[in-house]
Amino acid sequence: MRDQRLAINPYGRPYASLAELQQWTDARIEILSHERRCPATGSTVAQAWAEERARLTHVPETLPEPFDLVATRQVGLDGLVSFEGRQYSVPFQLIGQRVEVRGTAGQVQILKDCDVVARHPRATPARLVIDQAHYDGPSTEHVLAPPPLGRLGARIQDLSQAPVAHRSIDLYAALAEVAR
């Protein structure tokens, strides 16, 4: 530890700015990384770092949310993964692949290679949670795109998303009279 402190000792000369001090420190660390040996590999620290860096995954653009439950699941032929007694849709391009499913506060996140590919509300009354956008898009080399819904399918989906109409019981009584 003493060797490390003395090798990068900034007190030897004055610096005009914090940026200049940072530049000097970076240069000194770079020189030392080519001189010192990594105790685990026996190569220089710079060589060991280059090999390790190639194996690291990228840092996600957004920080991960805290999660209380995580599972690895295979995406089924229907483009769904099961988690906590429910089934959640994922982009159809991932059919047959393994994904990571995380339960966060109020949300289920589905990740592939550290990237969030789907988000759904958590603990909903619905047991089947589908985002229709997950079934849109072009085919891939390994997975054919599902056929589009068509007019009838789109109409049924619109109706399922429509709010329930509140009507007076008198309207139903009048309809029953007309039907007689």
Q: Would you mind telling me the total number of residues written for the chain in this entry? A: 180
pTM recorded for the entire structure: 0.59
How far is the C-alpha of 66 from the C-alpha of 55, rounded, in Å? 24
User: Higher model confidence: residue 165 or residue 49?
Assistant: 49
User: For the chain, first and last CA: distance in Å?
Assistant: 96
Give residue 1's pLDDT band: very low, low, confident or very high (50, 70, 90): very low
Express as a percent the part of the chain with pLDDT over 90: 56
Residue 152 clears pLDDT 90, i.e. is over it: no
Flag the least confident range among 14-23, 59-68, 131-140: 59-68
Task: Name, in order, each residue with C-beta under 8 angstroms of 114's C-beta and a sequence gap of 6 or more.
Answer: 57, 58, 60
**Domain segments of the chain: what residues?**
2-55, 67-148
Residue 171 clears pLDDT 80, i.e. is over it: yes
How far is the C-alpha of 79 from the C-alpha of 88, rounded, in Å? 8
What's the mean pLDDT when you consider all of the chain? 88
Flag the least confident range among 32-41, 74-83, 142-151: 142-151
HEC string for 33-86: HHHCECCCCCCEHHHHHHHHHHHCCCCCCCCCCCEEEEEEEECCCCCEEEECCE
